[in-house]
Amino acid sequence: MRILFLGDLHGNWPATLAMEEAIRGLDADDIWFLGDAVGKGPSSDLTCDWVRTHCRHWIGGNWDYGVGGREFSEDGFFWDQLGEERLSWLRGLPPEDELTFSGLRFRLFHGRPLTPLLMADSPREEFEAVLVTDRGRFDGAIFADSHRAFVRTLNGAYVCNAGSVGNNLGVPRAHALLLEDRPLRMTILSVPYDNEAAAEDARKAKVLPHCDAYIREVLTGVYSR
């Protein structure tokens, strides 16, 4: 059994295509989307449609809800590009789910708005807070949001971040997380893509909000907003 987890495509079409090519030979039994199909990049319509076509399970992220709910006026570029049918789909995404894999029960979510921004060095109590809910204590958590892939152990549990496909920070490559059974293996995929092509797509969009910040992020992996 192989399950792939990915998120934060953020309108980066070259990165999404590179990830598609990389996972084609993995023979994954399932693909989970961990939120943020849209926003930031110039091709949110394409990345949104990719998620709907290639993933079998979906979780909403802060950008999905923000853009889908028309919360911020500066996101008009994305509203016009996506159209009402896609915006409605984004608004309706569930905030979390769960999965039992290799005998372990994992809580699946994006991150914000459900939790604080979780980083590899976040305080232990913030990770403990997402492992314990009114449904009991989970054996692990799998999420996205911070755009930095990592796997960490904590008091008998695993906390795993899938990184970002389209806007990864630290290392400007497309990232995802692969879980394999018997024995349990957790593999971070790091896929190179044409970063300059992604930057050029943004330049051509002209009215893309915070265009310069997005370009710097995809070229350098340095957060710029």
**Taking 90 as the threshold, does the pLDDT of residue 136 lie above it?**
yes
The third-level CATH classification (topology) of the domain covering 2-106+164-220 is Purple Acid Phosphatase; chain A, domain 2 (3.60.21)
Which of 13, 223, 110, 164 is closest to 214 using CA atoms?
Answer: 223
- Please list, in sequence order, all residues whose beta carbon lies within 8 angstroms of the beta carbon of residue 134, skipping any fewer than 6 positions away: none
pLDDT at 62: 98
- Summarize the confidence of residues 2-28 as an average pLDDT: 97
Report percent pLDDT > 90 for the chain. Answer: 98
- Summarize the confidence of residues 195-216 as an average pLDDT: 97
Token pair in block for residue 132: 């314990």
Report percent pLDDT > 70 for the chain. Answer: 100
What burial class does residue 39 get, using C-beta atoms within 10 Å of its C-beta: 0-12 exposed, 13-18 middle, 19+ buried? buried
DSSP 159-196: EEE---SSS-SSS-SEEEEEEETTTTEEEEEEE---HH
pLDDT at 58: 98
- Summarize the confidence of residues 72-77 as an average pLDDT: 97
- Summarize the confidence of residues 120-132 as an average pLDDT: 95
Which amino acid, one-letter code, is at 91?
A: R
pLDDT at 206: 85
What does the mean pLDDT of the chain come to? 97
| Domain ranges for the chain | 2-106+164-220
pLDDT at 183: 94
